[in-house]
Amino acid sequence: MSRARIVAGALVEGDEGEDSAPAGNAGGWIHLELMVEEYLDGPEVDCDLVFENGRPVYGAITDNWPTVEPYFNETGSNCPSILPKAVQVELLELSVRAVQ
């Protein structure tokens, strides 16, 4: 990562001595922080919650459609969710406990 730089929005490897600095970046080098997450294949949902005075007053589940790899661009969603009601309740209860 010490040799990484941004060129046209992409992360590329290079040498610090190279003169091909990205436009608008005089030094050509950007300090990057990177977060790496494990990829978990399977269905994805959004759990939207509204709290008032520390108590949940609203919750909704949105089903995310499969993404387009390799960039995982969103393709759409279902709201309201088409998951079984019991699954939606379980997801909302888990989300509330996570927030609390």
pTM over 0.85: no
Q: How far apart are CA 54 and CA 51, in angstroms?
A: 6
> What total number of domains does the chain contain?
1
User: Is 19 part of a structural domain of the chain?
Assistant: no
Q: Among 5-9, 18-22, 44-48, 67-71, name the most confident range.
A: 44-48
User: Is 5 part of a structural domain of the chain?
Assistant: no
Structural domain boundaries enclosing 66: 43-99
Q: Closest Cα to residue 73, out of 44, 52, 36?
A: 44
Q: To the nearest whole percent, how much of the chain has pLDDT over 90?
A: 49
DSSP state of 34: -
User: Is 56 part of a structural domain of the chain?
Assistant: yes
Over the stretch 43-89, which tens digit does the pLDDT of each residue have? 899 999 999 999 999 999 999 999 888 778 889 999 999 999 999 99
